[in-house]
Structure 1
Amino acid sequence: MTVTTQDYLAAARTFPTGVTVVATRYRGGFHAKTVSAFTSLSLDPLLIGVAIGKDSPMVWATRASGVLSVNVLRHDQRPVAEYFATPADRRALPAPVALSREGTGAPVLGDCLSWFDCRVTGVVRGGDHALILGRVVAVRAGGGRPLVHQGGAYHALSQEQELRS
């Protein structure tokens, strides 16, 4: 059986993911991009992974700076996700969310569900993407519900849909 790109995408889009904004500092400014391919990799040491298209300016900016933040968006932050999903040269200014700097100097979104401030430990090529690995040096967790991406669209979980343990 041959798997086509369309078959693969149809299957992959059934998997819901959280929505993040990945950011790094670069030449006195910053680069940021909406990303749904984020995962926790390790508790010892504390590691995360983010997959980004290999030709994205975010990849070379992150390699150059050696730092990145992963900012998990809340259910009501769809405009933030859409803003950072737009190519940087077509974004209106100012950004719809404030950015600050934490321990590594990577920009973090102060008003999000949570963030991870990381030092880059490696960049691994995986086909048409790069997997950026980061060692977590600071975190902040807030309350609320996450913004979710599934089936090519953004969704917010209702309180009734949340599973409670």
Structure 2
Amino acid sequence: MSPTTGRGGPTTAEYLDAARTFPTGVTVVATRYRDGTPAKTVSAFASLSLDPLLIAVAIGRHSPLVWAARASGVLSVNVLRHDQQEVADHYARPERDRPQPPPAGLVREHTGAPVLDDCLSWFDCRLVTVVPGGDHSLLIGQVVGVRSGNGPPLVHHAGRYHGLGPAAQQPLLPHRV
């Protein structure tokens, strides 16, 4: 019997405590919109299908990135390396609070969606659909281009960034938003 039996389910705090135990990779999701490149640090990313090649990312439903991706029909998911905490912090901030220039350059690939020119890997996608999911939207993209490199990823766990492997046993600084 769970400790929430009879209380109507877990509280938000209990849910977050449990969710923080799951380590995730750290990505920057980007799209194009008019002359801009809306982008955001996102840890809710998954490979969804091999036939066709699909990915999924969950983004707060009120994020400008959601409507910009709908308008442009394209998005990219950029997987960060263990040494790219500065990039993650940059895109975790609201756009108006981001210092310029960004810590990593963006280039356009197959779809015209901006991808980080220096990251562990990227997925260039055409937006297939946007599915509502509570306070988030699930963006599903068909992958039309990829690039992958070598090295350990940046990982987020329990409110901190981490690296993987023997040289990365200590957690990095807490992320700053």
* Same topology, TM > 0.5: yes
Q: 2:75 aligns with which of 68, 71, 79?
A: 68
- The corresponding residue for 1:15 is 22
Quote the offset at 1:110 in angstroms.
1.0
TM-score normalised per structure 2:
0.89
Q: 2:42 aligns with which of 35, 39, 45?
A: 35
Give unpaired runs (5+ residues) of structure 1: none
Aligned amino acid, residue 34 of structure 1? T
1:86 aligns with 2:80: no
Q: 2:58 aligns with which of 40, 51, 54?
A: 51
- Per-residue Cα deviation, 1:13-50 (whole angstroms, up to 9, x for no partner): 00000000000000112100000000000000000000
- The corresponding residue for 1:121 is 128
- Per-residue Cα deviation, 1:101-144 (whole angstroms, up to 9, x for no partner): 00000000011000000000000000000000000000000001
Quote the offset at 1:157 in angstroms.
1.1
Q: Is the 8 A contact 2:162 2:168 kept in 1?
A: no
Q: 1:4 aligns with which of 11, 14, 23?
A: 11
- Per-residue Cα deviation, 1:143-163 (whole angstroms, up to 9, x for no partner): 01000000011111124789x
Aligned amino acid, residue 121 of structure 1? V
CA distance in 2, matches of 1:157, 1:96: 22
- The corresponding residue for 1:108 is 115
Could you list the runs of 4 or more consecutive aligned residues of structure 1 that deviate by over 6 angstroms after TM superposition? none
CA distance in 2, matches of 1:161, 1:56: 32
Q: Residue 26 of structure 1: SS of its match in structure 2?
A: coil
1:153 aligns with 2:141: no
RMSD: 1.3
Whichever of the two has the greater Rg, that structure is 2
CA distance in 1, matches of 2:20, 2:14: 10
Alignment coverage as a number of residue pairs:
162
Q: Is the 8 A contact 2:127 2:142 kept in 1?
A: yes
Aligned amino acid, residue 165 of structure 2? S
TM-score normalised per structure 1:
0.96
Q: Name the structure with the higher strand share.
A: 1
Q: Residue 93 of structure 1: SS of its match in structure 2?
A: coil
Give unpaired runs (5+ residues) of structure 2: 170-177
CA distance in 2, matches of 1:145, 1:29: 30
CA distance in 2, matches of 1:87, 1:153: 19
% identical aligned pairs: 67
CA distance in 1, matches of 2:136, 2:45: 13
